[in-house]
Amino acid sequence: MNVSGERTFAAPRTAVWKVLNDPAAMAKTMPGVQSFDVHDAARWTANVKIPLGLGGLKMQIDMNKTEEREPEFAKLQIKGKGVGAMLNMETSFELSDADGGTAMKWAAEVKLAGPVGSMGQRVLQPIVNQQVEHVLSALDREVQAAVAGGS
Partner 1 sequence: MTSTTITPERVESDAPEATQKGQSVPRKEDRRLVQGEGVFIDDVKRHGMGYIHFVRSPYAHAHITSIDVSKAEALPGVYGTLTGEEVASLTEPFFQLAKAPASNLQDYALAVGKVRYVGESIVAVVAETRELARDASELVEIEYDPIAPIVDARMAQGDAPVLHDEAGTNVMWEGSFEWGDLDAAFAEADKVIKIDELHFHRFNSTPLETDGALAEYNRGTGQWTVHCNNQFPGFAAIMMGPALRCGLDKLRFVTQDIGGGFGNKITTHPQLVVCCLLARKLRRPVQWTEWRTDFHMSMSHANERWFLDTEVAVKNDGTLLGFRTKALDDTGAWLRYEPLGCIIWSQVAPGMYRWRNIRVDFTQVATNKAPCSPNRGYSRMQHLWFTERVIDIVAHELDLDPVEVRKLNYVRSDEMPYETPNGCVYDSGDYARMLDIGLELVDYANIDARRADAKARGKLLGLGIGSTLDSGTNNFAQSQLINSDLQFSGNNEVATVKLDIFGEIVVTLGTVPQGQGHETPTSQVVSDILGCSVDDVQVRAGHDSYWNSHAGFSGTYASQFAVTGLGAVKGAADMLASQIKRLGSAVLGAPIEALELAEGSVRIKDNPEVALPFMACGAIINANNAGLPDDLEDVTLNCRYVYKPSFQVPDLERNFGNLTLTYATQIHVAVIEVDPETGYYDIVDYAAVDDCGKRINPRIVEGQVMGATALALGAATWEIYAYDEDGNLLTPNFYDYHVPHALDMPPLKTADIESPSPFTPLGTKGMGEGGGAGIHAICAAVQDALRGNGDAIVSDSHNPYHKVWELLEHPAEAGGHVSVVNA
Should residue 85 be labelled a site residue for partner 1 when binding is judged by CB under 8 A? Answer: yes
Residues in 11-70 that interact with partner 1 by CB under 8 A: none
Nearer residue to partner 1 within complex by CB, 119 or 127: 119
Nearer residue to partner 1 within complex by CB, 60 or 144: 60
Cβ-contact 66, 78 below 8 angstroms: no
Q: Which neighbouring-strand residues pair with 75?
A: 67, 92
Cβ-contact 8, 104 below 8 angstroms: yes
Q: In the set 35, 69, 70, 120, which binds partner 1 (CB under 8 A)? A: 120
Residue 21 has what DSSP assignment?
T
Nearer residue to partner 1 within complex by CB, 118 or 137: 118
Question: How far, CA to CA in Å, does 104 sit from each of 91, 101, 107, 124, 138?
Answer: 13, 10, 10, 24, 14
What is the C-alpha to C-alpha distance for residues 52 and 136, in angstroms, rounded to an integer?
18
Nearer residue to partner 1 within complex by CB, 64 or 144: 64
Should residue 88 be labelled a site residue for partner 1 when binding is judged by CB under 8 A? Answer: yes
**Element (DSSP H or E) covering residue 93:** strand 85-98
Nearer residue to partner 1 within complex by CB, 12 or 114: 114
| SS3 of residue 75 by DSSP | strand
Q: In the set 4, 14, 39, 83, which binds partner 1 (CB under 8 A)? A: 83
Should residue 86 be labelled a site residue for partner 1 when binding is judged by CB under 8 A? Answer: yes
- By CB atoms closer than 10 A (0-12, 13-18, 19+), residue 84 is middle
- The least CB distance from residue 27 to partner 1, in Å, is 25
Q: Which residues bind partner 1 (CB under 8 A)?
A: 83, 85-86, 88, 111-115, 117-121
